[in-house]
Amino acid sequence: MVDYKRIIAGNITELRKAVPYTQAELAEKLNYSDKAVSKWERGESIPDVVVLKQIADLFGVTVDYLLEEVHPLKATMQSVPRQLKKNRALITGLSCMLCFLIATIIFVILGSLAEMHRLWLAYVYCIPICSIILIVFNSIWGRPKLNYLYITILMWSLLASIYLTIGIYSKWLIFLIGIPGQVIIVMWSGIKAKIFKK
């Protein structure tokens, strides 16, 4: 009789480590607890069919791959998580470059129609927009802990963009908003970390 618990456990562990995800990160992506993932990887239980399909889709393999002990294309399949990671990075990069392309189009078209006074701000505003793109894609595909860094970049680049846009005296005071904002981000990251440890 085939020991599917052991086979599935080995395949999930191998795929998870190849990406690499921690058990907690994989659990979060599947909306399960890290204890459930730990049980699957120790062969104490098997995920249900729906979760097996989610795992297969997440790692870019088939459900059959998870059920097979011997993989004829094992060398090829080991590169699938790396290729998936590379593709996701390319999609994120393309999305950010699209933002800069739009800024360039605005700069060129409006610059030819009118005086190019302050059109360079289109590039400045690309930074907070790219931060939002990074937050969205990282929430879907990446490591959620990196979102605190991206949120920090978003906040400070948005404040800098506003600083460069407005023309009032003592406009530097806008950066004071960032201080409690940064404290909130740091405190929130501490709360989330303690939740994940439990």
Q: How far apart are alpha carbons 127 and 123 in whole angstroms? A: 7
Tracing tokens 């909306």 back to the chain, one arrives at 31
pTM as predicted? 0.58
pLDDT at 192: 53
Is a pLDDT exceeding 80 seen at residue 74? no
Model pLDDT for residues 118-175, shown as the tens digit of each residue: 788 888 999 999 999 999 988 887 777 888 999 999 999 999 888 888 866 667 788 8
Asked if pLDDT for residue 75 goes beyond 50, the answer is: no
* pLDDT tens digits along 79-120: 556 677 788 889 989 999 999 999 898 888 877 776 667 788
For the chain, what is the mean pLDDT?
A: 83
Q: Amino acid identity of 138?
A: N
Tokens of 80: 């699938």
Are residues 159 and 178 in contact, defined by beta-carbon separation less than 8 angstroms?
yes
Averaged over 14-40, what is the pLDDT?
A: 88
Q: Are 127 and 157 in contact (CB under 8 A)?
A: yes
Q: What is the DSSP string of the chain?
A: ---HHHHHHHHHHHHHHHTT--HHHHHHHHTS-HHHHHHHHHTS----HHHHHHHHHHHT--HHHHH-SS-TTHHHHHHHHHHHHHHHHHHHHHHHHHHHHHHHHHHHHHHHHS--TTTTHHHHTHHHHHHHHHHHHHHHHS-GGGHHHHHHHHHHHHHHHHHHH---TTGGGGGGGHHHHHHHHHHHHHHHHHHHH-
Left if phi > 0, otherwise alpha if psi is -120 to 50, otherwise beta: which for 19? alpha
Distances (CA, A) of 80 to 37, 59, 94, 120: 21, 7, 21, 41
Q: In whole angstroms, give the CA distance from residue 47 to residue 187.
A: 35
pLDDT at residue number 15 = 87
Find all residues with CB under 8 Å of 96, minimum gap 6, and list them.
Answer: 126, 130, 133, 134
